[in-house]
């Protein structure tokens, strides 16, 4: 099951479970659409995999399987600003 991480690990933008701006790779590295496209050309800087739109978990399922709340910030040089 996807963790649905709550933030972009580059710019720390909020990415709530229903966000259509959340982009992930197969390892669930999570970025906002802006960082994924403008900083990384839709390629994960950690694994090199494709960054695609994260699916939205239906609200009823969120009650049983809530999104992760712990925030994570990566340390990629492109994120330093």
pLDDT in tens, 14-44: 999 999 999 999 999 999 999 999 999 999 9
Instruction: Give the domain extent around 51.
Output: 22-79
8 A C-beta contact, residue 51 and residue 43? yes
Q: Is residue 63 part of a domain?
A: yes
Domain membership flag for residue 14:
no
The tally of domains found in the chain comes to: 1
In-domain check, residue 61: yes
pLDDT digits over 12-22, tens only? 999 999 999 99
Token duo for residue 72: 């994570």
Question: What is the pTM for the complete model shown?
Answer: 0.93
3-state secondary structure the chain: CCCCCCECCCCCCECCCCCCCEEECCCCCEEEHHHHHHCCCCECCCCCCECEECCCCCHHHHHHCCCCCCCCCCCCHHHCC
In a domain, 64, yes or no: yes
**Nearest to 74, CA basis, from 37, 38, 27:** 27
């Amino acid at each position: 099951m996807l963790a649905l991480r709550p933030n972009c690990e580059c710019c720390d933008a909020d990415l709530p479970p229903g966000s259509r701006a959340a982009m992930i790779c197969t390892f669930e590295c999570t970025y906002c659409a802006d960082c994924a496209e403008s900083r990384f050309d839709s390629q994960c800087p950690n694994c090199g995999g494709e960054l695609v739109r994260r699916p939205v978990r239906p609200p009823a399922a969120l009650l049983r399987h809530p999104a992760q709340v712990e925030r994570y910030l990566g340390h990629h040089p492109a994120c330093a600003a």
